[in-house]
A = this chain, B = another copy of it.
Amino acid sequence: MSAARLIYLPLGGAGEIGMNCYVYGYGPENKERYILVDLGVAFPDMDSSPGVDLIFADIAWLEERADRLDAIFITHAHEDHVGAVGHLWSRLKAPVYARRFTANIARRKMEEQGNDQDEVHTVEAWPETVSAGPFKVGFLPMSHSIPESSALVIDTPAGRIVHTGDFKLDKTPLVGEPFVPEAWSEVSKDGVLALVCDSTNVFNPNAGRSEVVVGPAIESLVKGAGGMVVATTFASNIARVRTLAEAGRAAGRSVVLLGRAMRRMVTVAAETGIMSDFPHTIPPEEASQIPRENLMLIVTGSQGERRAASAQLARGKFLGLSMKEGDLFLFSSKTIPGNERGVAKIMNAFSEMGVNVVDDSGGLYHVSGHANRPDLQEIHNLVKPQVVIPMHGEHRHLREHVGLAAETGLAGVLAPNGTMVELTGNAPKVVGYVETGRTYLDGTVQIGAMDGVVRDRIRMALNGHVTVTLIIDENDEPLGEAWCEILGLPETGRSRTPLSEVLEAELEQFLGRADDSLLADDGKLSEALRRNVRNAANSEIGRKPEVTVVVSRLAQ
């Protein structure tokens, strides 16, 4: 039997900012016991995943070994860390551990997907630990943009790993626990094998700013406003939501929470004791009784999401409320790369209504939840690990983070999704590659990103679609003409004749000269019809459409 080894294997999150999913294993090769850290989602976009509802890491590798998976740990309640728990749990069936607030969110997700809530166990903060196979795991409180975010202190027979989760260095986070440097020194004092570390803001050269700095700026903005004030931020950023609410109260305004996620997060924060002092709010239906200059709405949709409250207000009324000339709309948020178009669309819609739109371009109304470059160095220095393994980043972030570690003489391992790193032995080394990828939640079905389903949709979006139907009679002769139905294509092109007629005329000519052997072979006939349609369309409208051919034979 081979010696026990300690491995690290990211299945998601090390190659994108999203769908975090990290495996640790300990034991003899192929007999390792595993734990999983985080089980999050990524979000689809029209460019690469139209129609998709959610994106998960492909967990096939772990599913095959689920009998050796001892536990799932969730660092915090952001969707990219907890969002897939409900959808994927039944393929893994290991107990889930999280702190109170996170566990509350995870239980809701389990329930929504028909899983047993009791599989989610609430854990107290470090120094309490959970034993899972050869691992002992503790939740070290850390500041981020959601309450109870935690680093994991993972003890193994081979040594200690510190997995940061998402974090920033905030000693005054307003809600939730602060960054306590002494706690990090303490857990690191006997040596840390590996620091597995958030890389999101590695390209930002400035030290991060505390949540405490945005309050006064927001308060002064709200106090100076004339009409209704509406502000948006991530609902899970409870500290910010409270800051917004307090600014509204300070300006003598009644506060309304709009959007399901906004109300749910505030409720969960109250239920779990995270926050007991949220300002008084009124329900939306009472807002219409109040003069608009006395109202402050806090709404979902900081990323321009089509169904969120901000987008609904941009399109018109939402729950009886609407924006008017002279109102103020504040984005107390950063636009995540890729969401710029959606956010700009909402800003312009408000601008057309005469609403004053304010965002963070001046750096006043938002601070990031992630550690910047100097903050990462501070953590490196506190932990002084034998190796830094960057995670939570695109490839370029991971690469930059390895470089950053090198600047202070620390070894770094660039381990994108699927890279199995052994941490036992003299130095960390890559011992294998696992096939990884993405699983799409598509409607109610999980499909593979490479199954071709989404590829076909993208092709239809780019090229349009033609349906060709042809009936072949008992003598293997065409019965009547082939019909063409177009969808997503111009009605007429070069010849000004309807495109479907042009295509049908082309197929009539083709069928007139087709020989018997071709007409008798469904496969060859379909392929020939498809080719003729694509070429005829190309010469008529400059585009080769996707084609579905249905040949019906009347009898054998």
Give the complex CA separation of A85 and B23 in angstroms: 57
| Residues of B contacting A543 in the complex (Cβ-Cβ under 8 angstroms) | 51, 442-444
A70 in the interface (beta carbon within 8 A): no
A464 in the interface (beta carbon within 8 A): yes
A461 in the interface (beta carbon within 8 A): yes
A453 in the interface (beta carbon within 8 A): yes
A290 in the interface (beta carbon within 8 A): no
Please tell me if the beta carbons of B465 and A487 are within 8 angstroms of each other in the complex.
Answer: yes
Give the complex CA separation of A464 and B490 in angstroms: 19
Give the complex CA separation of A552 and B479 in angstroms: 10
A409 in the interface (beta carbon within 8 A): no
Give the complex CA separation of A339 and B541 in angstroms: 28
Stretch at the interface among A235-243, A267-275, A393-401, A501-509: A393-401
Classify chain A: how many residues form its interface, as a range.
35 or more
Please tell me if the beta carbons of B395 and A51 are within 8 angstroms of each other in the complex.
Answer: no
A528 in the interface (beta carbon within 8 A): no
Please tell me if the beta carbons of B461 and A51 are within 8 angstroms of each other in the complex.
Answer: yes
Quick one: CB contact mask for A447-476 with B, threshold 8 Å, 1 for yes?
A: 100010110111011111101010100000
A307 to chain B, nearest CB (A): 14
| Residues of B contacting A465 in the complex (Cβ-Cβ under 8 angstroms) | 460, 465, 487, 548
A50 in the interface (beta carbon within 8 A): yes
| Residues of B contacting A550 in the complex (Cβ-Cβ under 8 angstroms) | 467, 469, 483, 485, 550
Quick one: CB contact mask for A346-369 with B, threshold 8 Å, 1 for yes?
A: 011011100001000110000000
A340 in the interface (beta carbon within 8 A): yes
A203 in the interface (beta carbon within 8 A): yes
A489 in the interface (beta carbon within 8 A): yes
Give the complex CA separation of A467 and B47 in angstroms: 25
16 extra interchain contacts, Cβ-Cβ under 8 A, other than A15-B348, A444-B542?
A48-B341, A337-B341, A344-B394, A347-B394, A347-B396, A350-B396, A443-B543, A445-B493, A451-B490, A451-B491, A453-B491, A457-B464, A460-B465, A471-B471, A550-B550, A552-B552
6 contacts between A and B (CB under 8 A): A50-B462, A351-B394, A443-B538, A445-B541, A453-B464, A467-B548
